[in-house]
Amino acid sequence: ENKAPAGTFKAGDWNHFRIVAKGDHFQIWLNGVQTADVHDSNTSTGYIALQLHGIGNNKEKIGQKVRWRNIKLTQ
């Protein structure tokens, strides 16, 4: 299971993500901590998308904004 240790995500602050996608191999770091290292042969090509997969069960959080900054794409 790929999960970041408690305290890795900084709620209410900027977080740094590093995502490496080479063919079917995906690696993700959150604030310097590797959180995923997977192979997925179903998605070895496609589009890049930035999205939020949920903000918990608290309905008061619905409508919150997600911001991205300093995005760099390299090949």
pLDDT, tens digit, 9 for 90 and up, residues 16-53: 999 998 888 999 999 999 999 999 888 777 888 887 76
Which amino acid belongs to residue 17? F
Q: Which two tokens stand for residue 50?
A: 């930035």
- pLDDT for res 45: 78
Residue 21 burial by CB count (10 A; 0-12/13-18/19+): exposed, middle or buried?
Answer: middle
With a cut of 60, say whether residue 5 has pLDDT above it. yes
Choice between 9 and 62, residue whose per-residue pLDDT is larger: 9
Of 36, 8, 33, give the one whose Cα is nearest residue 20.
Answer: 36
- pLDDT for res 67: 87
- pLDDT for res 59: 62
Q: What is the DSSP letter of 75?
A: -
pTM of the model: 0.74
Which amino acid belongs to residue 37? D
Of 67, 73, 70, 60, give the one whose Cα is nearest residue 13.
Answer: 67
